[in-house]
Chain A
Amino acid sequence: MIDLVWLVPLFPLVGFLTILIGGRKLGEPKAGHVATTMVLLSFAAAVGIFFDLLSRNAVDRSEVVTLFSWVPVGDLKIDMAFLVDPLSSTMLLFVTGIGSLIHLYSVGYMHGDPKFSKFFLYLNLFVLSMTLLVLGSNLLVTFLGWEGVGTCSYFLISFWHTKDANASAGKKAFVTNRIGDFGVMLAMFLAFGAVGSIDYGVMNESALAGTLTQATATGIAALLFLGAVGKSAQLPLYVWLPDAMAGPTPVSALIHAATMVTAGVFLMVRINPVLGAAADWVPTLIAYTGAITALFAATIALAQNDIKKVLAYSTVSQLGYMFLAVGTGAYVAAIFHMITHAFFKALLFLGSGSVIHGMHDEQDMRKMGKLFTLMPITASTFIIGWLAIAGVPPFAGFWSKDEILLFALAESPVLYVIGIVTAILTAFYMTRQVVMTFFGEQRWGSLANAEEAAHLEASDADGDGAEATAESPAPVETHGAHGEFKPHESPPTMLFPLVVLAGLSVVGGIIQLPSLGIIPKGAQHKLLDWLHPIVEFGEGPEERGIGEAVIKGTWAYDNKTILIAIAVACALVGIAGAFAVYQKKMAKPFEPKLFADGWNYDNMIGWFMGNPGRRGFDGVAEFDTKVVDGAVNGVATLVRETANQVRKVQTGYLRQYAGVIGIGVVVLLGWFVVIRGIL
């Protein structure tokens, strides 16, 4: 089965090509069905690979499948090769699994969109790129996927590109990602220069064998981390992710929550031996970047009113947790949180999409409320996602967050405090969102209705029917007359993925239960056992299954029960606080403008780029026109002027030429005869 790993990217490729050629003919909903089937087949192949790996011994679970020699240039030999091991298999499972659910959801969500088949074209291309990214056995194949997902992200953020804001959000994402991408490229050059190969196997083995110098390892790890910061939206390059919410909601769920943005974390885990060989400041930098991003984004999420913006900042925050885990050496915890986060954040995004769909494209939570009775399934699944992200046991998010916090405390109390404060804030803002959306008083009555009617009339008056449908994937028949506005539950194709993801968000934690007395030994640390050969190279087999061995002996390890109690208490405090403020109205909401504006970070960048930056660019442009162009043009002018003078010699008078020739002959003869003495 492992030899057939190329089937995993092949299916989305086939889907992509089919829709590319016949998408218009297939139309709605066949294009969506083709795309969904292809990703589902890909998922089936991934499951097959998983079970094949599972049936092997732990030491045999890593295999390179080479398809063909891709770049044979001198000493540089790069194969189009896939590395199949527990890590890539895990990633494949949730990328294709959640991918197929979101494809299915999109069939319902994108209903009526004029660019229906194009949406699935991009979505399949994205899955193709993501599987390449995950499977690549060297940095270049990964980079191919890395750029591929970036491109798809750009296409899909600005999917409704007739609106200026959407188009510039796409550009913002693309440009910001480029900053990180150059780090990945430099890391590749550095790796080739140092070890003569960009294969993960070679790099990791030389790092483990100690042949990789500390300086090189530091350089590679730091540069790849720069790439990860861009792709995974960490400080200071997080700015593109909140804006990326301009894309359709399934895109936000698939690309900007569950899969693509976790690519940075994946890359860090993939090269973890190099990270281990690097100077100590690299992991510390990663841990603090993650922790500060987590806290920073959580504060912004407190004051957002757009239902998707809250989730976007929450994603940035949760990605911060993952980097915190990577930085503290808790690679398994990072992957664990990546998986559980993919479950519950995809669920929350799809749930918010369902709400937006039902509210006829209303994203402002201030115009929602009391939707629970009207959208029971969406609301119940959303609540499960909320409990999972807030860290309430036994939902999935609790276990993964708890493990990260455990490692954070073992590393440094500062990181732990930041993590726990973020956890309180997370519980708080998610509760706020749930209360504002599904409970409290109804705020969507006549106000939303009036605006809806005005919006419809405006678009009718413009005669711009295409844009109106592009903006509102909601079924038209439910709009009814302008007088009746009623939020409605979404179609079954949208609800089914919600239910499945809700189920996964409840039970997702069982893949990595902590070693506590009450949990049977056989059920603990399943994910660690599975990922063991990838993340803990050095240890012998007798250490396996313990997992937390690295932090054994620390206070944190010995008092895990206390930590769990603190984590649960914090989650409950956050939930209770938000409930008191937003449901019971016991206190005025604390939503400073500073938080709503995202600490003015965007504005500061805008100001900086607009003023000193602008002047700098103008100066450079001046230099270019004056000095660079001046030099080039000066040479041209010099040549032209000289030629102008010289060409006057050519008078065109035949007799003058003859005379000059005659004089020339006389002079030459005189030279030869008189001076040289010839003849």
Chain B
Amino acid sequence: MIAAIEPSWYLILAALLFSVGAVGLLIRRNPLVMFMCIELMLNAANLTFVALAIKLGDINGQTAVFFVMVVAAAEVVVGLSIIVSILRRKPGATADDLAELKG
């Protein structure tokens, strides 16, 4: 028998995804991977929105997700193009190599 999927499970999944993203951001140096981690955290937040929208019966949560997705798409375009151009200039560069703005 399959138990009904509780909204709280989604929240737990979102928390796990967010943690994976956060840890990945902190420990990986490849800019592309770090970018993917950020996306992971972003989508964890999206998942939280949807789960809570269902739990609270409020459509606003789902609406917000659409906005987030649109913004995220734009952000990916910009972010990826930056990363590509960085890697073109310095092949194999890690995030720690990009420390020109240090004080």
Contact B26 A658 (CB under 8 A): yes
Distance A647 CA – B102 CA, assembled complex (angstroms): 8
Contact of A650 among B22, B29, B34, B101 (CB under 8 A): B101
Contacts of A647 in B (CB 8 A): 103
Contact A653 B22 (CB under 8 A): no
Contacts of A658 in B (CB 8 A): 25-26
Contact B103 A648 (CB under 8 A): yes
Among residues of B, the one whose C-beta sits closest to the C-beta of A654 is B95
Q: Counting CB contacts under 8 A, is A589 at the interface? A: no
Q: Counting CB contacts under 8 A, is A651 at the interface? A: yes
Distance A654 CA – B27 CA, assembled complex (angstroms): 11
Distance A658 CA – B26 CA, assembled complex (angstroms): 7
Count residues of chain A with CB under 8 A from any CB of chain B.
13
Distance A652 CA – B27 CA, assembled complex (angstroms): 16
Interface residue ranges of A632-679 to B (CB < 8 Å): 646-655, 658-659, 662
Contacts of B98 in A (CB 8 A): 652, 654
**Also in contact, A650 and B26, with CB within 8 A (given A655-B95, A655-B96):** no
Contact of B34 among A646, A648, A649, A654 (CB under 8 A): A654
Distance A651 CA – B98 CA, assembled complex (angstroms): 11
Q: Counting CB contacts under 8 A, is B74 at the interface? A: no
Contacts of A662 in B (CB 8 A): 22, 26
- A249–chain B nearest beta-carbon distance, Å: 72
- B9–chain A nearest beta-carbon distance, Å: 21
Q: Counting CB contacts under 8 A, is B100 at the interface? A: yes
Contacts of B77 in A (CB 8 A): none
Among residues of B, the one whose C-beta sits closest to the C-beta of A644 is B103
Among residues of A, the one whose C-beta sits closest to the C-beta of B102 is A652
- B46–chain A nearest beta-carbon distance, Å: 18
Contacts of A653 in B (CB 8 A): 95-96, 99, 102
Among residues of B, the one whose C-beta sits closest to the C-beta of A662 is B22
Contact with A along B87-100 (1 / 0, CB 8 A): 00000000110111
Contact B99 A651 (CB under 8 A): yes
Contacts of B25 in A (CB 8 A): 655, 658
Among residues of A, the one whose C-beta sits closest to the C-beta of B37 is A658
- A298–chain B nearest beta-carbon distance, Å: 78
- B102–chain A nearest beta-carbon distance, Å: 3
Distance A662 CA – B22 CA, assembled complex (angstroms): 8
Distance A658 CA – B35 CA, assembled complex (angstroms): 12
Contacts of B102 in A (CB 8 A): 650-653
Contact of A652 among B26, B29, B99 (CB under 8 A): B99
Distance A658 CA – B23 CA, assembled complex (angstroms): 10
Contact A650 B103 (CB under 8 A): yes
Contact B95 A652 (CB under 8 A): no
Contact A652 B101 (CB under 8 A): yes
Contacts of B26 in A (CB 8 A): 655, 658-659, 662
Interface residue ranges of B1-57 to A (CB < 8 Å): 22, 25-27, 29, 34
Contact of A655 among B29, B100, B103 (CB under 8 A): B29
Contact B100 A652 (CB under 8 A): yes
Contacts of B99 in A (CB 8 A): 651-653
Contacts of B103 in A (CB 8 A): 646-652
Contacts of A646 in B (CB 8 A): 103
- A48–chain B nearest beta-carbon distance, Å: 81
Distance A649 CA – B101 CA, assembled complex (angstroms): 11
Interface residue ranges of B56-103 to A (CB < 8 Å): 95-96, 98-103
Contacts of A655 in B (CB 8 A): 25-27, 29, 34, 95-96
- B15–chain A nearest beta-carbon distance, Å: 13
- A650–chain B nearest beta-carbon distance, Å: 3
Distance A652 CA – B22 CA, assembled complex (angstroms): 19
- A248–chain B nearest beta-carbon distance, Å: 68
Contacts of B27 in A (CB 8 A): 655
Distance A667 CA – B25 CA, assembled complex (angstroms): 19
Distance A647 CA – B100 CA, assembled complex (angstroms): 13
Distance A492 CA – B26 CA, assembled complex (angstroms): 104
Distance A654 CA – B96 CA, assembled complex (angstroms): 7
- B35–chain A nearest beta-carbon distance, Å: 11
Q: What would be 30 A-B contacts, judged by CB atoms less than 8 Å apart?
A: A646-B103, A647-B103, A649-B103, A650-B101, A650-B102, A650-B103, A651-B99, A651-B102, A651-B103, A652-B98, A652-B99, A652-B100, A652-B101, A652-B103, A653-B99, A653-B102, A654-B95, A654-B98, A655-B25, A655-B26, A655-B27, A655-B29, A655-B34, A655-B95, A655-B96, A658-B25, A658-B26, A659-B26, A662-B22, A662-B26
10 more A-B residue pairs beyond the given contacts A651-B99, A655-B26, A655-B27, with a C-beta to C-beta distance below 8 A: A646-B103, A648-B103, A650-B102, A651-B102, A652-B99, A653-B102, A654-B96, A655-B95, A658-B26, A659-B26
Query: Which 4 residue pairs across A and B have the least CB separation, nearest first?
Result: A652-B102, A647-B103, A652-B99, A650-B103
